[in-house]
Structure 1
Amino acid sequence: MKKRRILIITICVVVIGIVLGIVFTRGTGSEDTLTTVNVTRGDIVRTVLVDGSLVMPNKAYLSFGATGTVAEVLVDEGNNVTKDQVLARLDA
């Protein structure tokens, strides 16, 4: 009975040793491969596609003290304007 117990323990120790040996030798066999890349300066471009509506915060509704028909518009949409700049002429 004692010999059988010693034999089983010996077999278990040998099997555990073999398993541990296999596990540890597999990890050391493959080394990580390093890759180097040259860094360059450039613009980062990111595109976002969304659905929705735009609301302009600086839109103004104008009213005038005179009546008449617009004869000429002196600025285009999207142009920057300054204070006291003539925007349109009326046909009186």
Structure 2
Amino acid sequence: AGCMVGVGLVTIIGAPLRYIVLTEAKPYERGAGQAIVNMLSSAGQLIGGALIGGIIASFSGILGYQVSLFLATIVAIIAFAATLKLKSRDEQIATMKANQ
């Protein structure tokens, strides 16, 4: 349960994604990058909430909650798998220095 809370807080706060955008973007692109992250995370929260609500309403009783949590778990697993493709700390520092 603690891991799920951590995953939820990371997606709500979004600081790791903003950090990645800041280190990967050139200085003149950082403002636009932050704006895109902010806009897409807000849209994702809006669409995700509506989608989960629709799934819950489509099934009867507790089955809707089970299906929605199962789908949310699948999305979380895919997101975790995507993190395995992130750069190592040394590669990230080299990119950050190159972009300054």
TM-score > 0.5, shorter chain as reference? no
Normalising by structure 1, report the TM-score: 0.28
Normalising by structure 2, report the TM-score: 0.26
Greater strand fraction, Structure 1 or Structure 2: 1
